[in-house]
Structure 1
């Protein structure tokens, strides 16, 4: 389940792409197995998440023999202090990360530093009003260790990124079917692991992810602009 649209990243063969806050590797794996051969790097603060992303490479088939060369490197690291030289990446993705970090401006400054002039940066965060409902339904939702520490308004985040020397060229929303799932979890926070309602909705989302039936895909297309859980913005670094 991808939040970013890789087709909006203007990827080209041989580009070096960073998935910052890669988690268990959903975007990292998609980049590696993309038909366009890339050199991908995944960084996450959690060593456990990095190990899970690494293990994920062995759960998928290897590239076809004689396919164009590609590479993947993973590391645990702090998004506010990245161990990369200036202007060393062509593209950077940062999906559902900035709402977790104590100093988003420090992370954005690092992204601006390591991204090449005219490079593209894609960021996604929880959309303001669906996220605000989650916060109202459950204080534990945003008080768990490693949880969300802020809610972004789209314009405010866009302006924060622009101050680092970027221009925004595209925006869209994602995961319209997921907002009710999170509202349900927050409403039943203490019982969410055992709730039949939460379990059934999770199975529905898993079925949608695997089968991609036209009905739910159409519903997602209709609902994402209205109640998508995430907002995604694409920026270009001013040369």
Structure 2
């Protein structure tokens, strides 16, 4: 089951864009396009370096597995690099939608699995790249889940893993809809140390641990108050926030201020790790 941020990011992922992030300009700010621009500033979707996230390069020689693929925003980028793509999700409709989304990419092969990932129907030492973003907070047994991810990775495989950051989750505790923190949604909040320990205990070597997403943290906080639908989040609170963030990003020190705010309240924490 996807977290709200993962759904928003997937909705925002467009066709290939210029290699350098360009702030959206429109009479009314599209919050999803702005969120994608913000994500690119944080290191996502770098077409010039072929990095899905900073430090996680994908090439045509890779076999990339995305567990909890959702709507396919991440694997679409990787498919455009020509990699073999393996997708796995518990939601059959998401798997089918992602399969269709990958049909316009030069991915050398696409393999699809509808599964609860316990276990993954994939052979040992299959993938050179493993992606699982905003999934671990949903699963009943994170250690078992990560053990499966490690099992299917080749020696030397890179892992891109993310979970919500506690600064944002704790901010929303008394504001979000009750079901947001109930199964099958977010059933746990992982501190930075807990996240790193889970990954290390699974046998992976952590390369980097970062955080980003102040924009989405505040947007979500206002989203709960606005009580609008995700498909049409039209509300003064959300519109004004998007306009403010776009103006900030266009200011001379916008990127510096974003970095400072991301360090205080982040939507997600991201680990890049390697299988020995």
TM-score of the aligned structures, taking structure 1 as reference length: 0.81
Aligned counterpart, 2:86? 41
1:200 aligns with 2:200: no
Instruction: Please list every run of at least 4 consecutive aligned residues from structure 1 whose deviation after the TM superposition is greater than 4 angstroms.
Output: 2-5, 201-205, 213-217
* 1:41–1:74 contact (8 Å) kept in structure 2: yes
* 2:113–2:121 contact (8 Å) kept in structure 1: no
Task: Give the alignment's Cα RMSD to 1 decimal.
Answer: 2.8
What is the 5 A alignment of 1:154-233? 154-186=192-224, 188=225, 191-193=227-229, 196-200=235-239, 214-215=250-251, 218=255, 220-233=258-271
Distance 1:134 1:163 in 2: 29
Aligned counterpart, 1:66? none
How far residue 143 of structure 1 moved from its aligned partner, in angstroms, is: 4.3
Which of residues 180, 198, 205 is equivalent to 1:142?
180
Deviations along 1:66-121, one digit per CA (max 9) or x if unpaired, are xxx62222221112210011111111011011111111111101011111112111
Counting matched residue pairs gives: 222
* 1:88–1:114 contact (8 Å) kept in structure 2: yes
Deviations along 1:129-175, one digit per CA (max 9) or x if unpaired, are 11111122235152455311110101111111111111111122122
Unaligned 5+ residue runs, structure 2? 1-35, 45-50
Q: 3-state DSSP class of the match of 1:23?
A: coil
Unaligned 5+ residue runs, structure 1? 64-68
